Chains A and B, each alone.
Chain A
Amino acid sequence: MNRLSSYNWKKILLRWEYALVLILIIEILIFGAINPRFLRVNVLLGSINDYVSICIIALFGTIVMITGGIDISGGSIVGLTSMVLGLLWQDMSMSIWLALALSLFTGILCGALNGFLIAYIGVQAMVVTLGGMFLYHGLAVVLSSLSVSSAYEGISGFPREFIMIAGGKFMGILPNPFIIFIVMAILAFVLLHKTRYGRSVFLVGVNPNAADYSGINHRFIKMSTYMLSGFAASVAGVILTSYLGSSRADFGNELTMPIITAVVLGGTAITGGKGSIIGTALAAIVIGILRFGLQMSGLTTQYLDIPVGMLLVIVVAIRGTMSFMKFPKLFVKKMNN
């Protein structure tokens, strides 16, 4: 009994999410010591505007990765969504809300194309989303050339209500993007960890054949995860467009790497079958705060790739070797209990 409780205690303490929380706290303390302005609640909460797209796309990228796939087309879908939104509003003179709905639909459509080719035709996820990355970015560029505004300036002058989607604050304190992120995180968490759908996602990741034999339509499950990921990318696109007040084709181009970094740092296995939404959400915030904090301590933004890259490699290496060495021991304990 004693051993059992100590085992549980250890298991809880060794959970990766707690390590991430610890890293986050250390980060905030260090940056706070360097620049006290960093610790203001306003600044800390406001910082999320800079990296909310990474957070939101990574949440649903996690679900894709759990099925054993990968989605690197998210960044391009951000740009495409932004262009569709701007073009429908300005050049087709649609109502902004209809344009918003249609642009969200675009993301789902892009995800559906990815998912269809991966799940039903059987092409590797990496190749399809690589092609998708070129295709969607290319379409965004084509759309921007169709618009009357020049591609360099982008489409701007959106109505105030639309700008307030990202610019506004909920109850005067919390920035709206933060609220949207929390809502999306809860949505993803419930979907993945609390529903039957989520269980099938994990099963498909562990063993698609077993999933098939147990009556799960593994092809549809796979396809739907890419649709969710596409949807998340277009939500990020809408937020970015609203926050910056303009729509341009090259939005989100630099997001691919940080997104995958966040997902993997959050404890998701790239081979599938393992991962958690809370982990990804925390990891995305860790990365975001790291970039933001380094920026506030006076480093130029260009250097930021170094610490993020190192964090990624070191964490994955440590986690890999730790689980590698610890696995037999845990296994033995489990057997004894």
Chain B
Amino acid sequence: MNRFLLLLTNTRELFTVGFLAILFMVTGIINSDFLSIGNLVLIFNGSVIYILLAIGVSFVILTGDIDVSVGAILGLTAAVSATIIRDGGSLFFAFAVTIGIGALVGLINGMGVTKLRIPAIIMTLGTTGIVRGSVYVYTKGKWVENLPSDFKSYGQISLFGLVNVFLLITVLIVIALHFYLKRGRSGKYYSAVGDNLNGAVLVGIPVDWIRISAFVLSGIFAALAGIVFASKIGFVTPTAGSGYEMKAIAACVLGGISLAGGVGSVIGAMFGAIIMSSISRILVFLKFSSNLDHTITGVLLLVIVVFDALIQQQLKEKARRERLAAKDLRAKKAYEEQEEATNE
């Protein structure tokens, strides 16, 4: 039983994948249309934006900080890239500019958190306001519309008629990042910093640099999500992406990333994002009102974190008891040795 608990905590992403599989299976049993290839493809293709946001945020959460500015960054970069494309700029230029914006906002966040010692949630809250306001300044409060159709068609290009190009690239990025974080030398620094900041300083990890780069990565991924957003949706409103930051964080939590930092993986974040974005579709297939979307998300989040907290407590308690038992054993042994010594 305890080994099972330990396995569960060590492979939290597996737990998420299992949960996703059960969710899909149960829905499929009740309504077999759900498991049709076309529907599954729609679900996976529809979750790209959330996946991109979630893997970006997961870097920041791994280092023990939090980033609530990704929704605003998505809004700004979507608006900027859409405007560039609409006015005839090249796709490459749009990519370069938006990624630059994302990286810049991330850099500002990172510098504020590490150099000025502003708590992450406050710093990113502040940049959220500034960036979201900039969207209005930039677009003058109007929608960005009339995007050329070949830009919009990028969202429809798919391999073998199934896998969307965006999704394919995203999944490849996730796999690469997963191996970087788990096997790469500097990749492991992220969770090390989140697990024990002072310890990381002591063993010589460039802590500030790692934390800043996490924010920069988060900004860059939010920028990528912004381009995908513009291409998929086809128009950009000034409020685009507001509220997405909370969904991205929720996706990370669903994917087994601990907000305390140091625990979790980008694969988990990806599956968390897929669960997040498939809930409303599942509800429709189960013939429930999709109004229940937020309720289910909330309940799911709470249940998972409570479950997780209880397991952690049990493990901690067990470790404590083992420690105490070992102490007892040592004391007993020492006593016996002393007895023997006196007997002799």
Contact = CB atoms under 8 A, between A and B. Distances in A.
Interface string B289-315: 101111111110110011011100100
Interface in B121-177: 121-123, 125-130, 132-134, 136-137, 141
Given A123-B309, A303-B133, A135 B125 contact: no
Contacts, number: 148
A138 B116 contact: no
Contact of A305 (B112, B132, B291, B298): B132
B130 to A, nearest CB: 4
Contact of A303 (B112, B116, B136): B136
A117 interface: yes
B35 to A, nearest CB: 26
A126 B123 contact: no
A152 interface: no
Interface in B227-248: 238, 243, 246
Interface residues of A, number: 46
A128 B249 CA distance: 12
A122 B301 CA distance: 15
Interface residues of B, number: 47
Given A126-B259, A142-B292, A316 B298 contact: no
Interface in B189-240: 238
Nearest to B72: A305
Contacts of B289: 142, 145
Contacts of B259: 124, 126-127
Given A121-B309, A124-B260, A302-B141, A309 B122 contact: no
Contacts of B119: 270-271, 316
Given A142-B291, A310-B130, A117 B306 contact: yes
Interface string A298-315: 001011111111101100
A48 interface: no
B253 interface: yes
B250 interface: yes
Nearest to B121: A270
Contacts of B134: 306
A304 B133 contact: yes
B66 interface: yes
Q: Which of A121, A134, A305, A324 has the most CB of B within 10 A?
A: A134
Given A121-B309, A135-B299, A324-B117, A130 B246 contact: yes
B299 to A, nearest CB: 6
Given A121-B306, A313-B112, A308 B129 contact: yes
B107 to A, nearest CB: 14
Contacts of A312: 122, 125-126, 129
A303 B66 CA distance: 25
B116 A317 contact: yes
A96 interface: no
Contacts of B141: 300, 302
Interface stretch (A56-64, A178-186, A256-264): A256-264
A127 B133 contact: no
B305 A131 contact: yes
A93 interface: no
Contacts of A260: 121-122, 125
A261 B129 CA distance: 10
Interface in A230-287: 253, 257, 260-261, 264, 270-271
Nearest to B303: A131
A138 B126 contact: no
Contacts of B308: 123
B298 A310 contact: no
A309 B125 contact: yes
The 7 closest A-B pairs by CB, nearest first: A309-B129, A135-B298, A138-B294, A138-B295, A306-B133, A134-B298, A313-B126
